[in-house]
Amino acid sequence: MTLLLAFGIGFVTGLRSMTGLAALALTRGGAWAVIMSIAAVGEYVVDVLPNVPSRTRFPSIIVRPVAGAIAGWFIGAWHGESPEAAAVFGVVGAVAGTFGGHAARLAAIKAIGAIPAAIAEDIVAIVLAALVVTR
């Protein structure tokens, strides 16, 4: 189950690079929770700007799997499983979330427009993160 959670939190970081880490930080509280939450909200705002490069381009294509690895590592460590294995599952989830989210976002943009598609993706990322961290 832990590796599935690591994959899930990685998937979230593929959708929104800061959301998974913010959700994990919020479970522990403190200054990091505030900092990561502000970073996540900032990402939601910046994401709707028209000049933001695609998540499949540099540097985002590097940041998301790294964030997935970190988030997966924490999931593994907190659940008494191998943090290294959980980190790998976090990376795999982040790559899946990056490319799957990109494809879904492009389809959603055609169907409902750019800003509604971005907001819908934000909501999916937040809900998935909440589901993972409450398990």
Q: What rounded mean pLDDT belongs to the chain?
A: 95
> Quick one: average pLDDT of 90-113?
97
**Tokens coding 110:** 């055609």
52: confidence class by pLDDT, cuts 50, 70, 90: confident
Q: Kindly tell me if the per-residue pLDDT of 47 is higher than 90.
A: no
Looking at residue 67, what is its pLDDT? 97
Could you tell me the pTM of the whole model? 0.94
> Quick one: average pLDDT of 85-97?
98
